[in-house]
C-alpha cells in the first residue's frame, strides 16, 4: 500500500512521515512540441453546412426547421434575381418598422395608467399597489400584471374580467381623445412614401386599438397590428415584437423597434432587433441602452434606419469571418520539473 504521494514544493523538499526526500538534480520531463494548427473559419463552415442542408431538401411536404439558411424572409429571398427588384429591396425594402402605440405615436399620460390601477384596486377591495409595482408593470399585459406582480388572482375568468374592467376605467379617464406626438405623423408619412413595411404593437385590446386608429386617421397604414389577444406575455418578453416581425415576413435583424422605455429596449434586444428609444416619458439618461435615442421621430432619416438594419450576410457580398491565427511561442506547454526519490517507490 502506498503510504503517501510526494508533492513538489517551492520551498524545498517536503517531510513525509519524518523522512526527507534526498536532494537530486532535477530531471527535465520530456515534452513534445505540438505545432498550432490554423483555426478553420468556423462561422463560414457552419453557414455553408446549413446552406447545403437547406438546398438538399427535395420533399415539399417537409417542414422547414427554424435556423436553416437562408431564412424564410421576403427581404432576403435569393429567388429575386431581377436587378430592379433587388435594387428596391436593397434600398428600403429590406427593413421593417415596429411601432409602439402609447408614448411613441400618440401622446400618453402615464398618470391615467396609474390611476386606472388604483381605481381597480379600490373596486376589487385590494390594497393600493405601491409606486414601484406600478412602474414594474408598465408594458405588461393586464392579466400578466394581475397574476404575476400584483397577485390578485390566478383564476382565468377573474383575470379576464379585471383586465377588461381596467381598460374601461382607462378609456373613461382618457375620454376617447387621441393626439399624435410632435413629429410622429410626419415620420409615418415618410416611411409610407418609401414603402417601408410597418407594424403596430400594443398591450391594449384589439377593439380599443382599432377604434383609436380610425379616430386618429391612420387606418390601413400598418401592414400588421399586434394586440393583447395575439400574445401571451407583454414586455420585457420579446413575444410581441417577434410576432410582428413574423407578420411582416422579416428576420428579426431586419426589424427596428420604436419604443419609449427600457423595457422596450430590453425586449427588442432580446428578440435580436435594433431599438430606437423616444424620450417621451423617461429622461434621456435612462434610455442610453437603445441603439438610437431621439426626442421626436422626425429627427430620424431613412438613412439612419438603413444603417441600423444593415447586417452582414453572404448574399450581399459580405466576407465570411475568419478566425485569427495564433502566433507560435517557444514554450507552448511549459516544462515541469520535479525532484523524486527513486528509492521511495
pLDDT for residue 16: 42
User: pTM higher than 0.85, yes or no?
Assistant: no
Instruction: Judge whether residue 13 has pLDDT over 50.
Output: no
pLDDT for residue 324: 47
Instruction: Judge whether residue 21 has pLDDT over 90.
Output: no
pLDDT for residue 224: 94
Spatial strand order of the sheet with 198-201 comes to 224-226, 198-201, 96-100, 255-259, 274-278, 292-294
Which grid cell is 209?
386599438
Give the pLDDT confidence of 290-322 residue by residue, as tens digits.
Answer: 999 999 999 999 888 988 887 655 444 444 444
Which grid cell is 234?
407583454
Give the pLDDT confidence of 26-69 residue by residue, as tens digits.
Answer: 444 444 444 444 444 554 555 555 455 445 444 444 344 444 44
**Mean pLDDT, the chain, integer:** 75
Which grid cell is 193?
412614401
Q: Within a 13 Å sphere around the CA of 312, how many CA atoms are in the beta-carbon half? A: 7
The β-bridge relationship of strands 198-201 and 274-278 is: unpaired
Give the pLDDT confidence of 154-193 residue by residue, as tens digits.
Answer: 999 999 999 999 999 998 998 878 899 999 999 999 999 9
pLDDT for residue 61: 40
pLDDT for residue 96: 92
pLDDT for residue 195: 87
Give the pLDDT confidence of 207-218 residue by residue, as tens digits.
Answer: 999 999 998 989
Q: Following DSSP, what letter does each residue of 213-243 receive, concatenated? A: HHHHT-TT--SEEE-GGG-S--TTSTHHHHH
Cα dist. 190→187, 209, 277, 308, 310 in Å?
5, 23, 18, 17, 19
Amino acid at each position: 500500500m502506498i503510504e503517501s504521494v510526494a508533492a513538489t514544493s517551492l520551498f524545498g523538499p517536503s517531510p513525509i512521515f519524518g523522512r526527507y526526500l534526498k536532494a537530486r538534480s532535477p530531471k527535465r520531463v520530456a515534452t513534445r512540441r505540438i505545432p498550432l494548427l490554423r483555426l478553420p473559419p468556423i462561422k463560414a463552415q457552419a453557414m455553408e453546412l446549413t446552406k447545403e442542408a437547406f438546398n438538399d431538401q427535395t420533399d415539399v411536404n417537409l417542414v422547414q426547421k427554424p435556423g436553416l439558411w437562408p431564412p424564410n424572409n421576403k427581404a432576403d429571398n435569393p429567388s429575386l434575381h431581377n436587378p430592379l427588384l433587388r435594387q428596391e429591396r436593397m434600398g428600403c425594402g429590406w427593413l421593417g418598422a415596429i411601432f409602439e402605440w402609447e408614448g411613441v405615436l400618440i401622446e400618453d399620460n402615464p398618470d391615467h395608467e396609474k390611476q386606472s390601477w388604483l381605481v381597480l384596486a379600490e373596486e376589487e377591495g385590494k390594497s393600493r399597489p405601491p409606486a414601484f409595482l406600478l412602474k414594474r408593470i408598465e408594458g405588461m399585459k393586464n392579466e400578466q400584471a394581475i397574476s404575476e406582480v400584483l397577485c390578485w388572482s390566478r383564476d382565468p375568468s377573474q383575470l379576464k374580467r379585471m383586465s377588461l374592467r381596467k381598460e374601461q376605467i382607462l378609456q373613461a379617464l382618457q375620454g376617447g381623445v387621441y393626439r399624435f406626438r410632435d413629429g410622429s405623423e410626419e415620420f409615418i408619412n415618410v416611411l409610407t412614401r418609401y414603402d417601408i413595411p410597418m407594424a403596430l404593437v400594443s398591450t391594449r385590446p384589439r377593439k380599443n386599438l382599432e377604434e383609436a386608429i380610425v379616430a386618429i386617421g391612420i387606418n390601413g397604414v400598418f401592414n400588421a397590428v399586434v394586440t393583447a389577444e395575439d400574445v401571451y406575455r407583454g414586455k420585457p418578453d420579446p413575444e410581441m415584437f417577434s410576432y410582428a416581425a413574423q407578420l411582416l415576413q422579416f428576420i428579426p435583424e431586419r426589424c427596428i423597434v420604436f419604443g419609449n422605455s427600457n423595457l422596450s429596449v430590453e425586449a427588442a434586444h432580446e428578440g435580436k432587433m435594433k431599438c430606437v428609444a423616444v424620450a417621451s416619458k423617461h429622461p434621456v439618461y435612462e434610455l442610453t441602452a437603445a441603439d438610437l435615442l431621439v426626442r421626436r421621430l422626425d429627427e430620424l432619416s431613412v438613412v439612419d434606419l438603413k444603417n441600423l438594419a444593415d447586417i452582414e450576410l453572404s448574399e450581399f457580398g459580405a466576407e465570411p469571418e475568419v478566425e485569427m491565427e495564433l502566433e507560435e511561442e517557444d514554450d507552448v506547454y511549459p516544462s515541469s520539473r520535479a525532484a523524486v526519490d527513486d528509492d521511495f517507490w
